[in-house]
Chain A
Amino acid sequence: MAKIPGKLALHGTVLGAGLLPLGVLLFGALTDRLDANPIEHITHSTGKWAIRLLLLSLAVRPAQRWLGWSWALPLRRTLGLLAFTYACLHFLTWLVLDQFFDWEAILEDVAERRYITMGFAAFLCLVPLAITSTRSWIRRLGRRWISLHRLVYAAAVFAVIHYLWQVKADWLPPAIHAAILAALLAARFRFRTRPVSVAQSPGGS
């Protein structure tokens, strides 16, 4: 029984920390403290946090394998849903505040600006994952749920490319995110291949 309050506290802490950037943003918006271009500020901030939280959710499995953090596994859903929350806010900021429902401009952006196409694709990948994140959907889909949720890799790759393709001159910030994503994917790839290689060479070290 002692485990449950611990779990709740863990989820609560992660949820609270994850919502902190949103709180800062809301506080800034309400007190007129965002910079001179608030719409751009909100767009950039929500976009960056969506990517960071997505990367964090992808870091959980490697953390369990390499550091033995089994307690962290249930956090994947919390982190994933937080990432989706920021992605929604990011998408809505663009749709409503930036374009103000100018459908012609919106369609032109999605079709012709490849970084927006990429961002839109990343967002679309996240939608079914968020919808099927409940316990009943996990039960209903069974093994297919696991296959479906591999979409998270596509979402993360698309999201980081979306970030990279907007760069005017300074590649460093998106490059750091890309490097982290590459490391996380490489770590996974190693887990997959390791048991196989062990099986193939039982006498190996």
Chain B
Amino acid sequence: MLIRQAPEIRSSEITDPGLYFRRREFLRGLAAAGVTASLPAMAGLPGSASAATPALERKLDFRSPGPFATDETWTDRDDATRYNNFYELGTDKGDPKRNAHRLVTEPWKVTIDGEVAKPGTIDLEDLIRPHPLEERIYRLRCVEAWSMVIPWVGFPLGDLLKRFQPTSRAKYVAFESILDPEHLPGQRRNVLDWPYVEGLRIDEAMHELTILAVGMYGAVLPNQNGAPLRLVVPWKYGFKSIKSIVRIRLLETQPPTSWNISAPREYGFYSNVNPAVSHPRWSQKRERRIGEWRKRPTLPFNGYADRVASLYAGMDLNKSF
């Protein structure tokens, strides 16, 4: 099995993230100036990166290496972008890539409300602009007992939440994915209750490992991986890392979560990676790293126990699974 590191990115290929995420303003400016018609001739201009350019070719500028990086071999980029669970785009692993074009990510607004002093709905560009991007090379452990190593590009969720000033009543964070059954083929059937919702306890959300990702492998997130904005919580099963986020709500009470609604016996609110607690229908002791043949042992908290185990001190993780 060929496992390769992502190619090194020449600095000339890198789009300034501020410029990239302001691309629509930039395009509007061009349109106003009446030069839109000549855009194709301006290929290579960072601002012209649009749906026509594959996401993985739209490079980002970010701090690399970022903190907390695992030195394990990265999962092949093609595998990480063709083997996905994103039921909005279909339930087969290959469906999300096949149907990726159906996810409309422009324009994209995110609402932040609930227990915050400064609620609001803002454009993605404005949401991201204040945050320096950094690379986070994390293990990803799916509840289905496979795993990957993915170099994400993003920023700490905690930094974003602080901007909106959570109140003292903010004990939980609820996330919501896009609801667009007109375009998303998976949302035309009630496989899950749409929209997909997830949640974290506030201390989990503020934890230094928890990030919002806008990219992977040095470039903009492909749609099938949850563009344009997704959560990454590396010590929890993959389904907690909700994709294509449109709303973040701070709450006093624990929010419902999609897989827990669907099968409460099988998927708990916490869903921390735990080899000692089996899924009712399969063992979680081992996992298959994508690209490898033999299974490897699964680590408690997906190998991040030294940083996160203290969050759950005194809790019975057999009950709070």
Whether A and B are associated in the same complex: the answer reads: yes
- Find chain A residues with CB under 8 A from B285 CB: 105
- Find chain B residues with CB under 8 A from A112 CB: 278
The answer to whether A165 touches B293 (Cβ under 8 A) is no
Report A9 CB to chain B, min CB distance, Å: 36
The answer to whether B191 touches A113 (Cβ under 8 A) is no
In the assembled complex, B87 has its CB within 8 A of some CB on chain A: yes
Report B86 CB to chain A, min CB distance, Å: 13
The answer to whether B91 touches A97 (Cβ under 8 A) is no
Q: Which residues 35-80 in A have Cβ within 8 Å of B in the complex?
A: 35-37, 39-40
Report Cα–Cα, A168/B85, bound state, in Å. Answer: 11
Q: Which residues 142-163 in B have Cβ within 8 Å of A in the complex?
A: 144, 146
The answer to whether B83 touches A36 (Cβ under 8 A) is yes
The answer to whether B286 touches A105 (Cβ under 8 A) is yes
Contact of B281 among A36, A165, A169, A170 (CB under 8 A): A165
The answer to whether A37 touches B87 (Cβ under 8 A) is no
A159-176: CB near B (< 8 Å → 1, else 0) gives 000000110111010000
Report Cα–Cα, A114/B282, bound state, in Å. Answer: 9
In the assembled complex, B101 has its CB within 8 A of some CB on chain A: no
In the assembled complex, B283 has its CB within 8 A of some CB on chain A: yes
The answer to whether A169 touches B93 (Cβ under 8 A) is no
Report B21 CB to chain A, min CB distance, Å: 30
The answer to whether B281 touches A37 (Cβ under 8 A) is no
Q: A115-B281, A169-B192, A170-B191 are in contact. Are A36 and B93 (CB under 8 A)?
A: yes
The answer to whether B281 touches A166 (Cβ under 8 A) is yes
In the assembled complex, B121 has its CB within 8 A of some CB on chain A: no
In the assembled complex, B22 has its CB within 8 A of some CB on chain A: no
State which size class the interface on B falls in: 20 to 34
Report B60 CB to chain A, min CB distance, Å: 24
State which size class the interface on A falls in: 20 to 34
In the assembled complex, B82 has its CB within 8 A of some CB on chain A: yes
Report Cα–Cα, A36/B278, bound state, in Å. Answer: 24
Contact of B294 among A37, A100, A115, A169 (CB under 8 A): A100
- Find chain A residues with CB under 8 A from B13 CB: none
Report A109 CB to chain B, min CB distance, Å: 7
Report Cα–Cα, A132/B174, bound state, in Å. Answer: 60
Report B205 CB to chain A, min CB distance, Å: 26
- Find chain B residues with CB under 8 A from A168 CB: 144, 263
- Find chain A residues with CB under 8 A from B294 CB: 100
The answer to whether B283 touches A36 (Cβ under 8 A) is no
- Find chain B residues with CB under 8 A from A100 CB: 294-295
The answer to whether A35 touches B93 (Cβ under 8 A) is yes
The answer to whether B281 touches A35 (Cβ under 8 A) is no
- Find chain A residues with CB under 8 A from B93 CB: 35-37
Report Cα–Cα, A169/B191, bound state, in Å. Answer: 6
Report B16 CB to chain A, min CB distance, Å: 32
Report Cα–Cα, A184/B320, bound state, in Å. Answer: 44
Report A76 CB to chain B, min CB distance, Å: 32
Contact of B290 among A36, A105, A114 (CB under 8 A): A36
Report B150 CB to chain A, min CB distance, Å: 13
Q: Which residues 273-292 in B have Cβ within 8 Å of A in the complex?
A: 278, 281-283, 285-286, 288, 290-291
B182-214: CB near A (< 8 Å → 1, else 0) gives 000000010110000000000000000000000
Q: Which 8 A-B pairs have the closest CB atoms?
A: A36-B83, A36-B79, A170-B91, A169-B191, A170-B191, A36-B290, A169-B262, A169-B192
Q: Which positions in B face A, CB cutoff 8 Å?
A: 76, 78-80, 82-83, 87, 91, 93-94, 144, 146, 189, 191-192, 262-263, 278, 281-283, 285-286, 288, 290-291, 293-295
